[in-house]
Amino acid sequence: MPNTKSKAFVTDLLSRSNVSLDGSNPWDIHVHDDRFYDRVLSQGTLGVGEAYMDGWWDADNLDETLYRGLVGDIPSSLPLDPGLIWSIVRGKLFNMQRARVSEVGEKHYDIGNDLYSRMLDKRMIYSCAYWEHATTLDAAQEAKLDLICRKVGLMPGMRILDIGSGWGGFLKFAAERYGVEGVGVTVSKEQAAYANANRDGLPIETKLMDYQALEGQFDRIISIGMFEHVGYKNYRPFMEKAKSLLRPGGLLLLHTIGGNISTTHGDPWTEKYIFPNGMLPSAKQIAAASEGLFVMEDWHNFGAYYDKTLMAWHANFEAAWPELEDKYGERFHRMWRYYLLLCAALFRSRKIQLWQVVFSPNGVPGGYRSVR
């Protein structure tokens, strides 16, 4: 039997978001284990996610359930749980992003190229697509890559750096379409091996290394979906390193997910299961980190497109699951589904954003022309 007080509390919270227990709407929750209610109260958002992974509850349209819960601000109404307290304390006391530089590569990006190749587009781009005129994931990702190239004014013969270069998709696109040469850095062994095996003779190279160890000079620096792993104690050192690597007339483009409020920690469930030591920068934190080092030339928010990107990844993942299930298992299936749909809900509710920020070392003479 459920704890009646816990069940009443959870039922009341859900009702504020027009979500019912065992209702007929596709976003209503169906509870399969009465321990769910106590777990939510004692473990907060971590407990909600783990209970889903364990099969204690379901919803037909999970993304809509989570979206409604976020719009109704349910997370802030939950009691402060030990997981969140530990995340806050750890963020204050330690610099985990520098102490464990390779951890996110090993625990997230190295889990299997078989998974990512089925979920992502043909170029293996694991960041928000640009859907302005595109109707397919492949086209939307190429549109994003081309947008970046145009924003930084790539020209033949330029030498570029991609910090957090993933499976090499941007470098390869830029070399093919714009005639540049380039270097990418990643902390993922699987990404580096894949990128170097698929460069097709182009003048690009991916190095398995910490970006802080890199030396050299580059005409343009790009960082796509990596700044979320940097950590608030390292935002300024990141900008300082980028400044030291960028030639005087160069440009830096930072493509990152961002939060509406400055924080010093991540989400307990996401940190534990998806992105170890991850956290989202705020606009204030990015501005402070770059102050005195760069001129901020352009700021572009297209976070609403990440919802559509994540739903496309989710559709690909579910379609490919019969090929993946023997290797990964059902608990991973539910975890990965929860991850993708939670992130879609966060962007849909506008709780988090996707920014592309263009910086120059000293200001573009005559002004920077914004590109969309």
Q: How far apart are CA 118 and CA 97, in angstroms?
A: 29
- Residue that is written with structure tokens 């090993």 in the block: 106
Catalytic site residue from 145, 343, 346, 354? 343
Q: Could you give the count of Cα atoms lying within 13 Å of 92 in the half-sphere of its Cβ?
A: 6
Q: Is 343 considered catalytic here?
A: yes
- Residue that is written with structure tokens 């359930």 in the block: 65
Identity at 148, one-letter amino acid code: I
Tokens, residue 172:
């390869």
Task: Determine contact, residues 130/147, Cβ cutoff 8 Å.
Answer: yes
Query: In this structure, how many other beta carbons lie within 10 angstroms of the beta carbon of residue 349?
Result: 17
Active site residues: 343
